[in-house]
Amino acid sequence: MTQKTLISPSILSADFATLGAEIAAIDAAGADMIHVDVMDGHYVPNLTIGPAVIKALRPHSQKPFDVHLMISPVDPLLEDFANAGADIITVHPDAGPHTHRTLQAIKGLGLKAGIALNPGTPIDAIDYLMDDLDLILVMSVNPGYGGQSFIRSQLTKIKALRERIDAVGRDIILEVDGGVNPETAPLCRAAGATALVAGSAVFKGAGTYAENIKALR
């Protein structure tokens, strides 16, 4: 499959004092999506931003907001994230008791729905959910922080998911998140990923944002 690799910079590594300008800058630098990491200090140890900040950021880019919810419970806040301007909402299956219902709720809000698999989560978490998914996010670090090292065992998972997606023949984005840099990006692509999240490699890489994004493609 020859397909352009989508790059979704994670604003977790951006300058939080100037987030609007940072988003405009990565947009101009060629980002395909804007990855927004939402953490609640409960499902994951870290705490970041919520719907009010996302709503304030929305006018700063027309690119899709790829919102990664690391919160539990997740259902009560889905509508707030939709109203804030999310285009894709990705949830963790162990963040709530009824993943299928959560995915239906996201689709019911008119958004694309994704599921995120932690490094220790087996791929059978997506059994029976393939018809409802627009995106599968493989976590190649444990969720909670930017700047961690890529966990290589996840390449096997990416390959297995690629086969499953090809078998059902649906247009599901296969995205990788965590420790993605110019060395690990080609491994992810070779395994079958179609989208890459990168925080440190874009915002703290050696070059300009445009150069850093280009180095990941």
Helix count and strand count (H, E) for the chain: 8, 8
Q: CB under 6 A: which stretch of 47-55, 87-95, 171-179, 184-192 binds ligand DX5? A: 171-179
Question: Rule CB under 6 A: is residue 114 a binding residue for ligand DX5?
Answer: no
Spell out the alpha helix ranges (H) of the chain: 19-28, 51-57, 78-84, 99-108, 154-168, 185-191, 200-203, 209-216
Report the nearest approach of ligand DX5 to the CB of residue 167 (Å).
27
Report the nearest approach of Zn ion to the CB of residue 176 (Å).
10
Which of Zn ion, ligand DX5, none is residue 114 near (CB under 5 to 8 Å by kind)?
none
Q: Which residue is nearest to ligand DX5 (CB)?
A: 199
Question: Rule CB under 6 A: is residue 141 a binding residue for ligand DX5?
Answer: yes
- Please select the residue that binds ligand DX5; options are 6, 7, 12, 155, rule is CB under 6 A: 12
Report phi then psi at 187, rounded to 5.
-65, -40
Residue closer to Zn ion (CB basis): 27 or 66: 66
What is the H or E stretch that residue 116 is in? strand 112-117
Three-state secondary structure call for residue 65:
strand
Report the nearest approach of Zn ion to the CB of residue 2 (Å).
26
Question: Rule CB under 6 A: is residue 9 a binding residue for ligand DX5?
Answer: no
Rounded to whole angstroms, the Cα distance separating 131 from 1 reads: 21
Q: Are 154 and 119 a contacting pair, CB within 8 Å?
A: yes
Distance between alpha carbon 85 and the CA centroid of its chain, in Å? 15
Q: Of 50-109, which residues contact ligand DX5 (CB under 6 A)?
A: 68
Within 8 A by CB and 6+ apart from 77, the residues are 50, 51, 69, 71
Question: Is-catalytic flag, 80?
Answer: no
Contact letters for ligand DX5, residues 15-44 (x by CB under 6 A): --------------------x-x-------
Catalytic residue IDs: 37, 177
Q: Which residues of the shown chain bind ligand DX5 in the complex (CB under 6 A)?
A: 10, 12-13, 35, 37, 68, 141, 143-144, 146-148, 177-180, 197-201
